[in-house]
Amino acid sequence: MRINLFFYRLLSTILLILSGFTVTAQQAGMEIDFFGYIDNREYKAPYTTDKTILGTMVSPKFFFAIDSNHRIVGGIHYNQDFGKHRENKDWVKPIVYYNYRNKNFDFAIGHLPRYERLKDVPRMALADTFMYDRPNIEGMYLAYQKGGFKQSFYIDWLSEQSKNQRERFVVGTSGMYKRGRFFFANDVLLYHNALTSNDTVDQHIQDNGLVLLRLGADWSGKTFLDSLTVDAGFAFGFDRVRATYGMQYATGFLSNIYLGYKRFSLANTLYLGEAQNLPLGDSFYHRKRYDRIDLAWTPFRKGNLEAKLVLSAHLTPDGTSNQQAFTLRYRFGKTFWR
């Protein structure tokens, strides 16, 4: 009942905004992102959670283009797990942001969809469960690109300080420079877990960070394969809890191989080094050796519709875990006023 009331109020607000904006907007329209997922995780290793994640998320949003560069976007994410009951996940989150974009810059502030801008951040930095549980960046995003160079910066506010909740946020940057077949990629992330406003609670500020630097080559279209990329590099992590222990460091080697042929692909990620303590990263990196193998099949892909089945093996000193994930994403839009 509360969700139905929320939808009614939201629709009324959107229609009111629409009636005002279309007077001055050059263009207005609607976009919908449908995402269905079944992700079965048979994890037996320590630090990992054995679970099945399944449900649907639909994200309708209206956009109002003031001119060719400025745009206001408003909408919602509605997500519900399969087999709903009182303990299931069932939530509505707002999409509200301003976006300035030209051929070189992309700037946005507000509650903006995460997938559109951070889908390529490595799992070591941000676990893929963020796409299910936190579909928005709540903060700011700025990207600059020109030729073969692109660099993005973002701040994502995870929790506002209160008596019972800590202040938590993420600051990150991701980029790539391509020259011919070769590229250099970088990813840097800082996680800050501050205090609550409750002075009587014994808490300590936590800082975690990660720097990933990789060199690679892209031979896509140069062999019988449709896609072939290889990269290798260096991972540097740090961790501290103030007044408990000082800065601790962890380093390691990271490599990625991706092969694609027609509707099939094979990907391998290898990490060798010291165990990383990364609260927001994939939990498999909490060990000195980790190898992930992904075999994927895309049964159909047409326009903005894509379905994918991925079978994954996670190899660690603790043993082997497996994962099966099927996802379907359909994105479409309609301009209804110009």
Spans of the chain below 70 pLDDT: 1-25, 89, 337-338
d(CA 302, CA 95): 26
Distance of CA 316 to the CA centre of its chain: 24
Distance of CA 109 to the CA centre of its chain: 17
Token couple for 236: 């540097």
| Under 8 Å between Cβ of 331 and 300 | no
- pLDDT for res 1: 47
Counting the structural domains of the chain, the total is 1
Please give the residue range of the domain that contains residue 131: 2-337
- pLDDT for res 158: 93
- Non-local (6+) Cβ contacts of 253 within 8 A are 232, 233, 234, 235, 270, 271, 272, 273
CATH of the domain at 136: 2.40.160.10
Distance of CA 39 to the CA centre of its chain: 16
